[in-house]
Amino acid sequence: MLNKNSKIYVAGHHGLVGSAIWNNLKQRGYENLVGRTHKELDLTDQLAVRRFFDEERPDAVVLAAAFVGGIMANSLYRADFIMQNMKMQCNVISEAYAHGVQKLLFLGSTCIYPKNAPQPMKEDCLLTSPLEYTNEEYAIAKIAGLKMCESYNLQYGTNYIAVMPTNLYGPNDNFHLENSHVMPAMMRKVYLAKLIHDGDWQAIRRDLDIRPVEGFTGSSQCDDILDVLAKYGIYDNKVVLWGTGTPLREFLWSEDMADASVHVLLNVDFADIIGIEKYSSVHYGASTDGSVDRNHSAGRGGAIPSLGEIRNCHINVGTGKELTIRQLSELVVKAVGFEGTVEFDATKPDGTMRKLIDVSKLHSLGWTHRVEIEEGVRRLFAWYQESLNTK
């Protein structure tokens, strides 16, 4: 059981979700937090990860670090998406076990589900049909991660929980046009198109100084800046977005995701998901003193005859609500105060047409989202503007 003095390692503590989880833990009074930047600790380096665990000996781990991006990045860097993520999670999970970590929370993504999964997607639809091709490598890596958690629990009696968030957005989001997700990319495009129309070159240069595009910064020539922005569909009072605008997407405010993650970390055990009485007595054979032999497994491979097959123990995290990409663009336009036009390029891929998740398991475990999409879009743009003035 974790307490306020427990040492908690948050991997990816500067990222979108990791930073929100860090802040949420702090707000709850958990001060003994450990974080390392990528420069300080390369999670793909097995020996470095082992040394870190040797030195820090955390009681709990939140694995929020990942190699992420949108459709374009997933298409360009397929090998990186599967290899980098597999290395990170293999290293962290294996060292967590080797060092006796009490609790581990693994963050995945709802892209793990089949392209044509029944909607809304329940946890049980995992691996029932083919994945969406454009993010197949990332999805396979995340499926492997949740299966690692599940398998360590079944073989060794660990307490590793996997949560699968829907599309996330919020403070510390990635607004770099080359590899960001749909909402921050859309928001920045609309904002820059407005600035071009307004002739506000001071603001444009400030934006590119903080987040260069293909190496072009605020000190680049105006024509060069306009040319590179045009490659991303950003023009004078006009924005061109990929696809038809018809795909439906679900979005979750990152601070809501953090609150759900911390709720699960502190209050939900693997035994709660599959049934503690049957699990501990059948799988481990509880001793006379009630302890559990972590090295004994009566049912290797995830199948215990008296319990049936144990699978799909991960937890969907989302709102259970959706809107089209076109509707999202309208919310972004309103938040930015953009009076130009938004066009959709139907020759570009849409990705999966619908990705709504079933969140009934999450609700049954005692958590429900708070921030609705309209409020969240306004908050995200406010944060983006603030980031341009504080960096």
Positions annotated as catalytic residues are 138
Phi, psi of 241 (to 5 degrees): -110, 155
- Identify the three-state secondary structure at position 104: strand
Phi, psi of 356 (to 5 degrees): -80, 135
DSSP string, 129-154: SPPPGGGHHHHHHHHHHHHHHHHHHH
| Cα separation, 179 vs 158, whole angstroms | 35
CA 377 → CA 30, 242, 252, 339, distances in Å? Answer: 29, 19, 11, 17
Strand runs labelled E in the chain:
8-11, 33-34, 60-63, 103-107, 160-165, 167-169, 234-235, 238-242, 248-249, 251-253, 303-304, 308-309, 315-317, 323-324, 341-345
Instruction: Name, in order, each residue with C-beta under 8 angstroms of 20's C-beta and a sequence gap of 6 or more.
Output: 170, 171, 172, 254, 255, 257, 258
Instruction: Name, in order, each residue with C-beta under 8 angstroms of 129's C-beta and a sequence gap of 6 or more.
Output: 114, 115, 116, 117
Written as one letter, the residue type at 48 is A
Q: Which of 76, 182, 84, 75 is nearest to 142 (CA)?
A: 84
DSSP state of 164: E
Bridge partners of 316?
A: 164
Residue 160 and residue 104 in contact, taking contact as beta carbons nearer than 8 Å: yes
Q: Both ends of the chain: CA-CA distance in Å? A: 39
Bridge partners of 104?
A: 61, 160
Q: Which of 292, 9, 2, 283 is nearest to 151 (CA)?
A: 283
